[in-house]
Amino acid sequence: MAAPLVLVVLAAVTVRAALYRSSLAAFIAERVEVASPLNAWKRVVEGLALLDLGVSPYSGAIFHETPLIIYLFHFLIEYAELVFMITDVLTAVALYLAIQDFNKVVFKKQKLLIELDKYAPDVAELIQTPMEMHYIPLKVALFYLLNPYTVMSCVAKSTCAISNSVIAFFILATIKGSAFLSAVFLALATYQSLYPLTLFAPALLYLLQRQFIPIKLKSRSFWLYTMQYASLYLCSLVVIICLSFFLLNSWDFIPSVYGFILSVPDLTPNIGLFWYFFAEMFEHFSLFFVCVFQINVFFYTIPLAIKLKEHPVFFMFVQIAIISIFKSYPTVGDVALYMAFLPVWSHLYRFLRNIFILSCVLIFCSFLFPVLWHLWIYAGSANSNFYYAITLTFNIGQILLISDYFYAFLRREYYLTHGLHLTRQDGTEAMLVLK
């Protein structure tokens, strides 16, 4: 499978290089859907320039990147385009390897459950075969590399690509089973943007499953392993933060990065839900609503962990999607990361109910974003409500997409254990409904 992957990588690199040389690069770099105050390239350049002038880059609310990014780009700023292309390629390769391993795990588990007679007799058509799973890793890499969102994000040189890369390596480490590496990469991902903290739960569940430790609250080995993983994670996080302190000899980066992510002071429009609300909110209530909105990201972890404890990788997918919808400064690069996983669940296609409408909604909204931005800012014939409407529609489309996949996944699991032709007590055909 290496050759097709190399071909895909070459195609992706060509597309990006072509776009870098064209005039579209400047246009894409300043679009608010692609570059947010957290990951815009011109802010990185500004921060490094401030540093050259002897001023802390965190003074003034321009620069919100972590010190490790300062270190990385201090040496690589002349090769920035190459860095971002290589990052994208690394992400795709990491996802490819991760999904390859995941497929093996899925297949093994399926075989075990068939032999244990856990599946109903008439579900032969629902079982995944190695033949159809053979091309999934390549499709994942393809979906990530050639997704227009990723391409735009790379051409805009948004550091979202680096966050995605770290998360991809975290997923690779988790699926390979190495708790230490997984904790280290999760700490890096949390350090980079705060929200991957919620990925702790699915990673833990996956590693527990891999060690064959049952997930019972009373089990001693469960708590032991959890403590081990948590301490690995927290120690790495502390070490990374302390190391960042030594870069500039100050703790300035903590309010600039994490304070900024949590308190959302910058209300530049983006594809998220925060800016419009906080633009029209009274000061008196803003603290309350900031807390409510931020809890919304972390809130779904526990219920999903309870429901999806047998399927931690699907849980990870849903969690990444929830992060990219509800985070304070989302960009299309975040959306691209969870969309890369969609081929893994392609066997759920027959159970998806709204996929046509949702894909239409997402495509139309993506095209309408620049149109309504132009109408609002340049033509003056629309106002922020128009742009916010498209933001809302886009996010609703994403949320419905995730819940559709969720429904389809659970429905398939139910059919697997209860058979395809469900009947009610009196023998008539029954319909499965998600309550």
Partner 1 sequence: VCTSRFWFNYRHVANTLSVYRSVKRLGIPDSHIVLMLADDMACNPRNPKPATVFSHKNMELNVYGDDVEVDYRSYEVTVENFLRVLTGRIPPSTPRSKRLLSDDRSNILIYMTGHGGNGFLKFQDSEEITNVELADAFEQMWQKRRYNELLFIIDTCQGASMYERFYSPNIMALASSQVGEDSLSHQPDLGIGVHLMDRYTFYVLEFLEEIHPASQTNMNDLFQVCPKSLCVSTPGHRTDLFQRDPQNVLITDFFGSVRKVEITAEAISLDRDRAGFESKFPEEELATEPLKYAEQLPVAQIIHQKPKQKDWHPPGGFILGLWALIIMVFFKTYGIKHMKHVF
Q: Does 381 bind partner 1 (CB under 8 A)?
A: no
Residue 81: CB minimum distance to partner 1, A: 16
The CA distance from 375 to 151, in Å, is 25
Q: Give yes or no for a contact between 65 and 43, defined as CB atoms under 8 angstroms apart.
A: yes
3-state secondary structure the chain: CHHHHHHHHHHHHHHHHHHHHCCHHHHHHCCCCCCCCCCCHHHHHHHHHHHHCCCCCCCCCCCCCCHHHHHHHHHHHHHHHHHHHHHHHHHHHHHHHHHHHHHHHHHHHHHHHHHCCCCCCCCHHHCCCHHHHCCHHHHHHHHHHHCHHHHHHHHCCCCHHHHHHHHHHHHHHHHHCCHHHHHHHHHHHHHHCCHHHHHHHHHHHHHHHHCCCCCCCCCHHHHHHHHHHHHHHHHHHHHHHHHHHHHHCCCCHHHHHHHHHHHCCCCCCCCCCHHHHHHCCCHHHHHHHHHHHHHHHHCCHHHHHHHCCCCHHHHHHHHHHHHHHHCCCCCHHHHHHHHCCHHHHHHHHHHCCCHHHHHHHHHHHHHHHHHHHHHHHHHCCCCHHHHHHHHHHHHHHHHHHHHHHHHHHHHHHHHHHHCCCCECCCCCECCCCCC
Of 157-165, 173-181, 376-384, 421-429, the window that binds partner 1 (rule: CB under 8 A) is 173-181
Region binding partner 1 by CB under 8 A among candidate stretches 3-11, 244-252, 301-309, 420-428: 244-252
How many residues sit close enough to partner 1 to count as binding (CB under 8 A)? Answer: 18
Using CB under 8 A as the binding rule, whether residue 184 contacts partner 1 is answered as yes
247 binds partner 1 (CB under 8 A): yes
Does 54 interact with partner 1 (rule: CB under 8 A)?
A: yes
Shortest Å, Cβ 206 to partner 1: 17
Q: Which is nearer to partner 1, 52 or 132 (CB)?
A: 52
Nearer to partner 1, 54 or 130 (CB): 54
Give the residue with the Cβ less far from partner 1, 62 or 247. 247
257 contacts partner 1 (rule: CB under 8 A): no
Of 202-241, which residues contact partner 1 (CB under 8 A)? 239
The residue from 181, 254, 262, 389 that contacts partner 1 (CB under 8 A) is 181
d(CA 57, CA 155): 24
Task: Between 70 and 154, name the residue whose CB sits nearer to partner 1.
Answer: 70
Binding status of residue 180 toward partner 1 by CB under 8 A: yes
In the bound state with partner 1, the residue whose beta carbon lies nearer, of 206 and 278, is 206
Residue among 314, 277, 320 at smallest CA distance from 297:
320
Q: Map the footprint of partner 1 across residues 64-83, applying CB under 8 A.
A: 68, 70-71, 74, 78
Cβ of residue 75: shortest distance to partner 1, in angstroms?
9
Q: Compare residues 247 and 400 and give the one whose CB is closer to partner 1.
A: 247
Instruction: Give the shortest CB-381-to-partner 1 separation in angstroms.
Output: 17
Looking up tokens 């588990």 gives 109
One residue of 52, 122, 280, 310 binding partner 1 per CB under 8 A: 52
Which of these segments, 51-59, 95-103, 304-312, 427-435, binds partner 1 (CB under 8 A)? 51-59
- d(C-alpha 61, C-alpha 407), whole Å: 42
Q: Which is nearer to partner 1, 77 or 124 (CB)?
A: 77
CB of 135 to partner 1, least distance (A): 30
Q: Which is nearer to partner 1, 74 or 350 (CB)?
A: 74
Q: Which of 212, 246, 282, 378 contacts partner 1 by CB under 8 A?
A: 246
Q: Which is nearer to partner 1, 239 or 291 (CB)?
A: 239
Q: How far is the CB of 46 from partner 1 (least distance, A)?
A: 14
For partner 1, the closer CB: 161 or 232: 232
Cβ(110)–Cβ(140) under 8 Å?
Answer: no
Query: In whole angstroms, how close is the CB of 418 to partner 1 at the nearest point?
Result: 42
Q: Which residues bind partner 1 (CB under 8 A)?
A: 51-54, 68, 70-71, 74, 78, 178, 180-181, 184, 239, 243, 246-247, 249
